[in-house]
Amino acid sequence: MPKRLDLDIIAAAIILSLIGLAMIFSTAGSAIFFKQIIWFVIAVFMAFIFSKISPRIWLNLAPFIYIGIMLLLFILLFTHGAYPKRWFKLGAISIQPSGFAKFATILFLASFLASRKKVKNFSDILAPLVIVTIPAILIFLEPDLGAAQIFFPILILMLYWTGMPAIKIFIFFSPIVSAAASFSIYIWVAYFAALTIFLFFHKQMSDFIYGLVSNFLAGLTMPVVWNSLREYQQHRIISFFSPWVDPRGISWQIIQSKIAIGSGGLIGKGFLSGTQKKLEFLPAKHTDFIFSCLGEEFGLVGIILTTLIFVYLLYRLLVLAKETKNKFASIFVSGVFAWIGYQTFLNIGMTMGLLPITGVPLPFMSYGGSSLLACFMAIGICLTISKSKFRY
């Protein structure tokens, strides 16, 4: 087999970034556009550099990168001025470490999971859980709930990819479902009954006890946690369920985003001609809601094409994860797949009103240097993995 880079992956990432750049030009004007171009150039360059470094070196570097980034988050949280503490200001540029934290966590988690002989029991989940919970809590305290929660789907998918049975993963994380269901006593009781029956037929005593106790406690403590959330975070969750109640509040964003996409029609209003975007009806139009602008200006055609590229990129990552013989590399790619895939569908679902507003940027497309850089760094490692995928 010849050694070769998986050019499709980098090509898809670059095309998505270019579409993103066009939309940033349309929504935010030339100053921000040029800033993002610089970030884009740096990001592609970094991907190139990273693709030259062998996976083995990454495996050895992983703990150091992880610890470094965690320290950075820690310093940010405890030394930086006022809330929210999401950015490091270094002169003219500001760096958002949460993007790099995902990269570092995936890298370290992959190296950790690869070092285990088997990942089968609950006890095997604990250490990986700690690895993701540290950055999740640090980011949650910034506070950035949207960025913090992404770590857990990534963890679940990486565990699954490593070989953890899906049922085990479900039972382990089922308290989260219990917590979500606790908003309504009826739903929770129904859920708990169904869970009990399921665990009974699962026929494992330890799972049975763990499942019932943890779910019961989660359902009990959730209301307490809910009250500790910040008001705007509560509001986001509430408004998702009844978006037309308060047109000026957070649901205003969902409505305006849906109007932007819906009014685009089949072929859109044309590049630079979106009225929702131009007249500032659309919130966070060059960051979280850039996909809505795409829908408004390029219509269904634009959305299908862009989404297809995302899907293709994800598919190529999945194929890479499958074909890579090296355990660490395979798990790492699955983590990148989970990261980009989850964030993409979460963001797009949010702009269409299918999912709650979480303030998660669209990978490659949303304005923001740190996020772009982190994505391309991950892609760079995927490239070096693709080059050497059959060697181990």
Partner 1 sequence: MDKNITKFKLLRNIIVVAFVLIILSTIRLQIIEGKKYYRLSDKNRIRQKRIPAPRGKIFDRNGIEIANTRPGFYVSVIRTSIDKTTLKKITRILNINEKTIEEKFRMEKNPYMPVKIAHDISYKQLSTIEENMDILKGIEVGVEPLRNYPYGELFCHLLGYVGEITHAEIKSDGNYSINAYIGRMGLEEYYENHLKGTDGIEYIEVDARGREVGKITEKRPTPIVYGKHLYTTIDLALTESVAVYLENYERAACVCLNPQNGEVLVLYSKPRFDPNLFVHGLEKKEWQILNNSPDAPLYNRAIMSCYPCGSTFKPFVALAALDSKMITKEKCFTPCRGKYRLGRRIFKCWKTHGKLNLVNAIIYSCDIYFYQLGSYIGIDTLFSRANDIGFGKRTLIDLPNEKSGFLPNRQWLEKQYGMNWTEGHMFNLSIGQGDLLVTPLQLAYAFTVFANNGEIPIPHVKKREKYDYHTTTISKQAIETVKQGLKGVVSFGTGTLARVDNFEVCGKTGTVQNPHGEDHSLFVGFAPSDDPQILVFVFVENAGHGASIAAPIAGKIMKSFLIQRNAVHHAKKT
The rounded distance, in Å, linking the Cα atoms of 373 and 97 is: 11
Considering only the stretches 35-43, 64-72, 159-167, 192-200, report the one whose residues sit in contact with partner 1 under the rule CB under 8 A.
159-167
Contacting residues for 328 by C-beta, under 8 A, at least 6 apart: 55, 59, 110, 111, 114
Is 1 a binder of partner 1 (CB under 8 A)?
A: no
Considering only the stretches 109-117, 126-134, 153-161, 171-179, report the one whose residues sit in contact with partner 1 under the rule CB under 8 A.
153-161
DSSP-assigned states of every residue in 192-251: HHHHHHHHHHHT-HHHHHHHHHHHHHHHHHHHHHHHHS-HHHHHHHHHHH-TTS-TTSTH
Is 212 a binder of partner 1 (CB under 8 A)?
A: no
Q: Cα torsion for 69, 70, 72, 74, to the nearest 10°?
A: 170
Which member of 321, 336, 362, 383 binds partner 1 (CB under 8 A)? 321
Give me the helix-helix angle, 205-228 and 166-181, nearest 10°: 40
Rama region for 332: left / alpha / beta (φ>0; ψ in -120 to 50; rest): alpha
Question: Total number of residues binding partner 1 (CB under 8 A)?
Answer: 45
The rounded distance, in Å, linking the Cα atoms of 290 and 365 is: 7
Which member of 48, 189, 304, 390 binds partner 1 (CB under 8 A)? 304
DSSP state of 326: -
Q: How far is the CB of 210 from partner 1 (least distance, A)?
A: 24
Q: How far is the CB of 293 from partner 1 (least distance, A)?
A: 13
Is 247 a binder of partner 1 (CB under 8 A)?
A: yes
The count of residues in the chain is 392
CB count, 10 Å around CB of 334? 26
Structure tokens at 55: 């996976």
Is 276 a binder of partner 1 (CB under 8 A)?
A: yes
Which member of 60, 130, 280, 390 binds partner 1 (CB under 8 A)? 280
Structure tokens at 261: 């996409």
Q: How far is the CB of 63 from partner 1 (least distance, A)?
A: 26
> With respect to partner 1, which residue has the nearer C-beta, 215 or 324?
324
- 335-374: which residues touch partner 1 (CB under 8 A)? 337, 341, 345, 348-349, 352, 354
- 322-341: which residues touch partner 1 (CB under 8 A)? 322, 330, 337, 341
CA dist 213 → 207, 236, 325 (Å): 10, 30, 39
Considering only the stretches 33-41, 131-139, 205-213, 309-317, report the one whose residues sit in contact with partner 1 under the rule CB under 8 A.
309-317
Which member of 141, 176, 237, 300 binds partner 1 (CB under 8 A)? 300
Structure tokens at 324: 């890579």
CB 277 within 8 A of CB 27: yes
- 251-270: which residues touch partner 1 (CB under 8 A)? 252, 256, 258-266
Direct distance between the N- and C-terminal alpha carbons of the chain, in angstroms, rounded to an integer: 13
Considering only the stretches 20-28, 77-85, 169-177, 291-299, report the one whose residues sit in contact with partner 1 under the rule CB under 8 A.
291-299
- Phi and psi at 298, nearest 5°, equal -120, 0
> With respect to partner 1, which residue has the nearer C-beta, 1 or 279?
279
Q: How far is the CB of 224 from partner 1 (least distance, A)?
A: 30
Which member of 44, 106, 314, 381 binds partner 1 (CB under 8 A)? 314
Q: How far is the CB of 300 from partner 1 (least distance, A)?
A: 5
Structure tokens at 105: 């966590």
Give the H/E segment covering residue 89. Answer: strand 88-90
Binding site for partner 1 (CB under 8 A): 157, 160-161, 163, 247-248, 252, 256, 258-266, 275-276, 279-281, 295-296, 299-300, 303-304, 307-308, 311, 314-315, 318-319, 321-322, 330, 337, 341, 345, 348-349, 352, 354
